[in-house]
Structure 1
Amino acid sequence: MNKNSNHTWKLGMFVIIGITVFILTIYLIGKSQNLFGSTFVLSTKFKNVSGLTIGNNVRFSGINVGTVDDIQFVSDTSVVVKLIIKDDVQKFIKVDATASIGSDGLMGDKVLTISPGRGSDKIIADNGSIRSTEAIEMEDLMKGVKVSVDNAGIITNQLAQFSSKMNNNNGALSKLMTDQNVASSLEKTLLNLESSSNEFSTFTKKMNNKKGILSKLVNDEKLGSSIDSTITNIQTGTIELNETVKAAQNNFLLKGYFNKKKKAEAKKLKDSLKQK
């Protein structure tokens, strides 16, 4: 009799514990799925849901506020995601809010995140729809990383070539850094350049000195006019001298002299041609 009662007591305890665990499980699942509270429905569209599944959490400002209730294909480039959100959060979600898909940690489950709107004060209605922003795919991220690594490899090779040329004693830059003669020559060149620059500076100062003849020649209009007049007089005198010489050649007193001079020049030219 005692054995039967002991067996019955253990069986009753096992049943009670099983029922308690079952009820607790149902409660936790219902709570996570918002089965026991007041909720409202939102929807959003994505081109790619990036591994999002039904039952994943929905977060607003970093707080879990709902779950993903349904995922349906509309077309080959559009997927509608239906969300169940706690009713007390509705007043904080505006019509210009946006939805995006992220991860719960580096390798965690996917999470749909609702970002608050900025420009509107209108509260989203039940069964309303919000815009979405596409998530960055891991494949695209890895492609970007690969491009960066390839570029880093190219830069490393170029630096290696540059350092190799730097260490080559035949290179101009290597000689500049290691050859004392080249360094001295460059130093002398720089000194000469500095000296020339100083001399040019002195020259320009003298040019700008109004007392100098060159400055007057450039800037003094009276001196310029005087020089123009002098040159004009010289040209005029040259023309008059040529006319005087022509007149002397035609004068009967000097005509014989000029004829003899022409004959002597012609004979001299003839003798020089014979010698050639």
Structure 2
Amino acid sequence: MKRKKKIEHTKLGALVIAGVLFLVFALYMIGKNQNIFGTSITLLTVVENVNGLVPGNNVRFQGMDVGTVKSIDMANDSTIEVSLLIKRKMQEHIKKNAATIISTDGLMGNKILHIVPQDGEAGPIEEGDVLFAMEQVGTEDMLKKLDMSGDYLQKTLVNLADITNKLNKSQAIWSLLRDTMLVENINLAVDEFRLAGRKATEMAQAGNRLLRTLEEGEGLVDQVFTDTVLSANFSKSIDQILKTGEEAERVLLEARTILNEIQEGKGAAGALLNDTLVRESLLNTIQNIESSTESFNQNMEALKHNFLLRGYFKRLEKRKAKELEELEK
């Protein structure tokens, strides 16, 4: 009887111990987010730095928990292999070309491995597929950049404070700002710029109208190019102008030749201009003619006052005056 009770107690103790062990194991697996009762597939991702990722951390896809980190192993001195347990029901939604990136759950939460979909056509993942990691910025790198930005911002604020102090101490700037004439000059300059812009717009519109006129076949230019009669007359006018230019050039050449001959003493004109004796004789002749003309004028004036011819000259003057009156009428 006692022996039978010992056997029953032993069986009960073994059953209790087994239940406790199973409960501990289940709690451990649940604590590590292991999919105990559901089916899953195993994926592998290759990273250079896990950034604090440990087995049991969540794996997310499009913000949803789709699995957990199974294990982390060092493949070589620069590559780390991370094994993932992914729920089988998510298999059809995750493509083979997807990439992974490690981030933090919130600001100071646990590490999370994100599966990021990529562009392009690819089939769904299968057991044992390898996903490659995206280039990521760690927290330390972000803090370094933030520290550099803070230093730059501090220097900028110091420079702004220095500039502000210099502006406050500068009397020239404040006097310039208080100058009413400066404001008026600026307004005038702005008005002139506006006027210039308006004139430029008008010129552009006039140019557009001119181009439109040429394109539509209006105006003298189009007639010259399209009207055959006007084009022929225009060509003849051009030819006549060219011939006139050639004639003028020939006349200039002949005149230049004559001037050269005169300067060299050739011909009658050259002899007159270059021979001193002929020139003096010609001057004497001209002087004699002038003196004879003057004597003739004096004689005529004396005849006008002669009592014998005075009546004749008066009648002649009256006749000339009458003829002038008739011409004026």
TM range (shorter): 0.5 to 0.7
1:72 matches 2:73: yes
Distance in 2, Cα, partners of 1:191 & 1:81: 68
Q: Tell me the CA shift for residue 161 of structure 1.
A: 5.2
Going by fraction, where is strand more abundant, 1 or 2? 1
Residue in 2 that maps onto 1:109: 110
Residue in 2 that maps onto 1:27: 26
Distance in 2, Cα, partners of 1:83 & 1:73: 15
Q: Tell me the CA shift for residue 190 of structure 1.
A: 3.9
Distance in 2, Cα, partners of 1:188 & 1:59: 63
Query: Which digits, 9 at most, give the CA deviation of each residue in 1:239-274, with x for residues without a partner?
Result: 566865774552223777xxxxxxxxxxxxxxxxxx
Secondary structure of 2:132's match? Answer: strand
Q: Tell me the CA shift for residue 65 of structure 1.
A: 2.2
Secondary structure of 1:102's match? Answer: strand
Going by fraction, where is helix more abundant, 1 or 2? 2
1:124 matches 2:116: no
Q: Tell me the CA shift for residue 68 of structure 1.
A: 1.2
Root-mean-square deviation over aligned CA pairs: 4.4
**How many residues get paired?**
213
Match of 2:111, as an amino acid? K
Residue in 2 that maps onto 1:100: 101
Match of 1:250, as an amino acid? N
Distance in 2, Cα, partners of 1:157 & 1:254: 103
Q: Which runs of 5+ in 2 are unaligned?
A: 1-15, 204-236, 265-269, 281-329
Q: Tell me the CA shift for residue 152 of structure 1.
A: 3.1
Distance in 1, Cα, partners of 2:187 & 2:60: 73
Distance in 1, Cα, partners of 2:125 & 2:89: 12
Residue in 2 that maps onto 1:36: 37
Q: Who wins on radius of gyration, i.e. which is larger?
A: 2
Residue in 2 that maps onto 1:139: 140
Distance in 2, Cα, partners of 1:37 & 1:62: 20
Q: Which runs of 5+ in 1 are unaligned?
A: 1-15, 205-220, 257-276
Residue in 1 that maps onto 2:298: none
Secondary structure of 1:75's match? Answer: coil
Secondary structure of 2:75's match? Answer: strand
Q: Tell me the CA shift for residue 97 of structure 1.
A: 1.5
| Shift in alpha-carbon separation, 1:61–1:241, aligned structure 2, 3 A | same
| Shift in alpha-carbon separation, 1:236–1:76, aligned structure 2, 3 A | same
Aligned counterpart for 1:251 among listed residues 272, 275, 279: 275
Secondary structure of 2:101's match? Answer: strand
Match of 2:277, as an amino acid? L
Residue in 1 that maps onto 2:327: none
Compute the TM-score of the two structures, normalised by the length of structure 1. 0.58
Distance in 2, Cα, partners of 1:26 & 1:58: 22
Match of 1:30, as an amino acid? M
Residue in 1 that maps onto 2:180: 180
Higher relative contact order structure (alpha carbons within 8 Å, sequence separation ≥ 6): 1
Query: Which digits, 9 at most, give the CA deviation of each residue in 1:136-191, with x for residues without a partner?
Result: 211221232233334434444454455456556565x655432235555x459849
| Shift in alpha-carbon separation, 1:24–1:177, aligned structure 2, 3 A | farther
Q: Tell me the CA shift for residue 82 of structure 1.
A: 0.8
**More divergent stretch after superposition (131-140 vs 237-246):** 237-246
Distance in 1, Cα, partners of 2:54 & 2:92: 26
Query: Which digits, 9 at most, give the CA deviation of each residue in 1:90-131, with x for residues without a partner?
Result: 222221121111111110010111123443351211111112
- Alpha-carbon contact 1:101-1:134 (below 8 Å) kept: no
Match of 1:180, as an amino acid? T
Residue in 1 that maps onto 2:283: none
Secondary structure of 1:146's match? Answer: helix
